Structure 1
Amino acid sequence: MFDSLSVKLDRAIKTLKGQGKISEINVASTIKEIRRALVEADVNYKVAKEVTDGIKEKALGRDVLIAVSPGQLLTKIVHEELTSLMGGSQADINITGDPAVILISGLQGSGKTTFTGKLANRLKKQGRQVLLVACDIYRPAAIDQLKVLGEQVGVEVYAEPENKNALQIAQNGIAQAKKTGKKIVIVDTAGRLAVDDQMMAEIEGLKKSLKPTETLFVVDSMTGQDAVNTAKTFNERLNFDGVVLTKLDGDTRGGAALSIRAVVDKPIKFISTGEKMDAIDLFHPDRMAQRILGMGDVVSLVEKAQEAFDQQEADRINKKIRKNQFGFDDFLSQIDQIKKMGNIKDLMGMIPGMGKALKDVDVDDDSFKPIEAIIKSMTPKERENPDLINGSRRQRIAKGSGTSVQEVNNLMKQFEQMRKMMKTMNKMGGAKAALGNMMRR
C-alpha cells in the first residue's frame, strides 16, 4: 500500500541535514524531493505544491529539540500535512432512517459490487439487518455476482432479473425491506462512464427519487489521475457523501487517491484491500499518513486482532500453555486466527518499520500452506505431543507434506522456540500476579 511513495518520502527526508534549526537553506532540496515524490506517485501537482508549501511554512525556523533530529521533526510535520490532505479525521457513514438507504455509485470495473458485499458483511457483523438490492441491469451476470456475494456473507439479495427499470427495482427492494424488517438497504447500481450522459442521468434520478441517507462513490486506486477527474465529474452530478478507495493492495503509486479529498472536498470513508469479504476498513487519515511514512499502524492492527479474537479459544490456549501442553493443533488454531485478520503482508505493514522491509517481499496467505501441510501430515498423537517426532518420523512427514526434511526441522525448531517463549511469558505473568497480591496485603 503506497510502497513507492513511502520509499521516496523516506529518502527525501533523510536528505535533511543540519542541527539546531531547520532553515531555508537546509530544507529547500528536501521539500523539492518531497514534492517530486508526491507528483511521481500521481498526487495532483497543485495539491502536491500546496502540501509541500504547508510543510515548508511549518518547518522553517522550527527549533529542533536536543533529543530530536531535523529529519524526525520534519517527519512529524509531513505526517500532519498528509493527515490534513486526507481529511484530518475519520468520517462515518450515515445509517439513519427506516430503512437507511445507501446508494453505491462508481465506474465500470472499480470493484463496486464486491465492495457492496463487503459493506453488507461489515454491517451484518455489527448486528444490523441488511438487504442488498441488485440494480445493475446492464452488466451480464452482475445480479448473479451480487447473489453469490450475498450468499457468502449471509445477507438477502433482492433482484428482478427480467425488469430493466433500475428505479422501479430499487423502490420495490426498499418496500421489501420494510416488509421484512430490514433496517439498511444497500443499492448496487450499474458501473458507468462519466461521459455517458444517459447513464449519469439514470443514477441522478435514482438519488433524487430514493433520497438515500448515504451516497458513496467507489473508485479504483490504480487508475491514476483519471480517478480524480472522474470523482470530480460524479460529484458535480451526484453530490455524493463519501469516497471508497478499492484495490489499495495492488502494485500502484496510489497518490491520485490522496488527491481526491482535496479536489472534491468529500471524505474518504472506506478502503478495500483485497477480494475477501472482510478486506474492508474505515479510512483513518492519521493512520494512513503513519503507514505512508513507515511508522506503522499499531492501532488498526490491534482492532483487527480484537475482531478476530475468540475469547474461549484464547482461554483454552492459555490453559495449555500453563500446563506446557501447547501442541501443533493449537498452533494451527492460531494460524487460522491470524488469517481471519486479513491480508498477511498488509498486517505486517502495520508493524512500525516492517513496511519498508517488506517492500519487495511477496507475503500472502499462501505463505502458511507449507506449514499447514507439514502439520496435517503428522498423526494426531504427534500433533498433540511434538516430542514424539524423531528423525524417521520427520522423513515421513516431509514426504507426506511434499516438503523437505530441512523445512520440517526448521518448523520444529521454531515451534520449540515459541513454546519456550510462551512458557517464559507465562512465568513472568505469574510472578507479576504474585507480586501484586503481596503488595495488596
Structure 2
Amino acid sequence: MTPFSDTAPIATHPRARGVGSRLLGGSAERSWPPAAADRRTRADLLPLRFPRTILRGHGRVAVFRSDQNGLGARHLGIGMSISGAFIALFLLARLIIQCDPTRIPMLSVLAWVILLATAVTVHCAVRKLASRLPLWLFLAALGACAVVVALDLPGSWGVAGAAAFPTAAPAVGAFLLSIVTLRETGEITLATVALGLTMSAVTLFEAREDLLTLGPDILSTALAVAPPLVGASVVQAFRRMVQRELDLVLVQSTVSQPRFAVGMLASEQLARLDFDAETLLDDVAQGRTALPLVPSTATTAASLATQLRLHLIKGRTETWLHHAITESEFLGPVVTLNDPAGLAGLLSPPQRDGLLLTIWLLIGDTARSGASVCLRLGPISPPHGVGVQRKVLFPIELTTTGVSRRRVDPETWQAIRAIGPHVDSNPTGSLRVDIECSVDNPADA
C-alpha cells in the first residue's frame, strides 16, 4: 500500500505549508483542526475538506436520495400522513357501523390491531432514525401488511370471524400513503399494485348471492389503490422539481467564472491532487520519506506532477459554458456545444445569464419529448458600422430538435434578446435561432 492511498495513515502537522494552504485557505478557514495528536487518514479528512463534492453530479443525487424526506418533503410527508389517517378513520368507522354486536369479526379486529401497531412502530422508528425508513424496516412493515390483508380478506369468502366487507385491507393503502415520502416511489407503487391485484382477485372470484355486494368491494379496492398511487405521483414530481432547481442553482454559479477556468468538479480533483502533493512534500521535509525517493514513491510524484500540469492546461481551454453544460445532470445529456475558440468566455454577465436561461427554458419545457439543443459559437466576424471598433462580433447558432416555435415560452425570447439581435426560423419543424452577438474586445481591456 502506497502512502498516498485513501486508507493510508497521514500525520497532520500545524506547520505544513504548500499549494493547498493557498488554495484552500489557512487553518482558520478550514473545517478540521489544523493539528491533531493522533494520525488521520485521507478518507477521514476528505469529507471535511471537500464538502462541495456532494453537490455535483452523481454525488449530489446520491445525497438527495439518501434523505428522501429532506429538502421540504417533510412537510409534504406530514400532509400525506394526515390524509392517510383520515382514510383509516373512515374505514375503521365503517367496520364499527357494519359490525353486528352478536357476531364480532375477530379476524378483522385482529387485522386492525396489527395494522395500527405496525403504523405506530414505523412512525416512531422513523422519528428515532432522523426521518429515514431503512429497507429492513420497510420490508418488515410490508410483511405485517400482508398478514393484515390475509386476515381481513377471508370475509369475502364468508369465513367465520371476519367482517362482511374488508376494511383493514384497504387501510393498508392509507399506511402506504403515509410513508410515501420515506421510500422510493417505485417501491410504494409496486406494493400498491400488489395490494390492488390481491383485492381485485378476491372480488372477482368470490361467489355472490347478491350482485349488489360487488359495489362495496369495488369501493374498497379503489380506496386502497388510488390514494397511494396519487401520492407517489405527487412526491415523484416534487422530487424532480427540487432536483432541477438545485441543478439550476449550481449551474448558475458558473456564470461568474473567468473566460477560461476549471469547473467545480475539476477544482475538487485539483484540490485532491494538491493534498497528495502537499503530503509528499511534508513527508520529505520532516524526514519521514528518505531521499532519494524509492521507485514507487518517485512514480507517484511524477504522476501527481503530470496530472497537475494537465489540469492547468485544461483550465485554459474550457469556458464557463462548457462547465455549465457538462456538470449539469439535465443539460449534459441533451446539449451539444461547439465553441473551439472559447468565445462564450467573452460574453458579459447579462449575456451569460440570457444564454444559460435560454438553454434551460428550451430543455425544461420539453424535457419529456426528447428535445435537444446544439450550440455553435463563431467564427469572429469583421466589424462593420460606426463605433464598433472596440467590439468583437460573432454569431451564435442555436439549433433544436423536438422543439417547435409555438411551444417556446415568451420568457425564452426575452432571454435571447439579452444576448443580441436574433432571427428565428422553423425549417424542419424544430426551432433554429441565429443570434448576432457583440462583446467588448478583450484586447482593449
Q: Which has the higher contact order (CA 8 A, sep 6+)?
A: 1
TM-score, normalised with respect to structure 1 = 0.22
Greater Rg by CA: 2
TM-score, normalised with respect to structure 2 = 0.22
